[in-house]
Amino acid sequence: MACYNAFKDNEGRNEMDIYSIGEMVIDFLPGEKEGEYIRNAGGAPANVTIAAARNGLETGMCCKVGDDDFGRFLVDTLKKEHVKVICNNLCEEAITTMAFVSLAGNGERTFTFARKTSNICFYRWFCKLIIARPKSCFYVSTK
């Protein structure tokens, strides 16, 4: 498996403080003008991982994104935030998942997803991988 060795750190150890496994998406948040949306990295597992890295923990994100501009943006975001990209193979079979966020008057969010997604690539890969990492925390989430 191409991604398996990515679980190892620079010294060949297999441990990090947090491994996040699951979906990473593009969140399009409403802009200032009607019909305007702003691109952001999103997805609960990615959000948890980035927050933990910002607080000094050694973290890794295991997900699949499409071989498109959005997928490359998400991988670059993880690297910029000092999150180890555990499975960095981009999925050529599908696009990166996009979520359009709408805000109600009371602040509640609703999501509209655009999917023919790279997550299917991830789940095929992940189902073949058995993860046994003592002394580590795994955060697994999917929609």
At residue 111, the pLDDT reads 86
- Asked if residue 95 lies in contact with residue 23, where contact means CB atoms within 8 angstroms, the answer is no
Q: Is the pLDDT of residue 119 over 60?
A: no
Residue 74: pLDDT band (50, 70, 90) is very high
Q: Is the pLDDT of residue 137 over 90?
A: no
Q: How far is it, in rounded angstroms, from Cα 127 to Cα 114?
A: 24
Q: What is the mean pLDDT of residues 110-130?
A: 63
Nearest to 3 by CA among 109, 131, 108, 101: 131
